[in-house]
Amino acid sequence: MEDGEGMEAAAAELERLQIEILHRISVLDSSFLPQSSTAAPSPSLPVDESETVARLSSILRR
């Protein structure tokens, strides 16, 4: 079962890195977008894996 635990740890690390990248992209994105009083607040970090996947996919489709 050690291989399974290693895979889980690797998956958790990958997800952590993806969320960090997503956060950095959000910061960069907001720094280049025009700011206005009616603009929506910057997006929060994803709560679950499906939200992370959806946001990364959206960014890659741009």
Looking at the domain assignment, is residue 17 inside a domain? yes
Looking at the domain assignment, is residue 36 inside a domain? no
Query: Distance of CA 59 to CAs 18, 23, 25, 37, 39, Å?
Result: 12, 12, 9, 24, 19
Looking at the domain assignment, is residue 51 inside a domain? yes
* Structural domain for 19, as ranges: 2-31+43-61
Looking at the domain assignment, is residue 24 inside a domain? yes
SS3 15: helix
The pLDDT tens digits of the residues spanning 6-56 come to 999 999 999 999 999 988 888 887 787 766 544 455 555 556 667 777 777
Looking at the domain assignment, is residue 37 inside a domain? no
Cα(23)–Cα(13) distance, rounded to whole angstroms?
15
> What is the reported pTM?
0.50
Count: domains in the chain: 1
Q: Give how far the C-alpha of residue 19 lies from the chain's centroid of Cα atoms, to the nearest Å.
A: 4
Looking at the domain assignment, is residue 15 inside a domain? yes
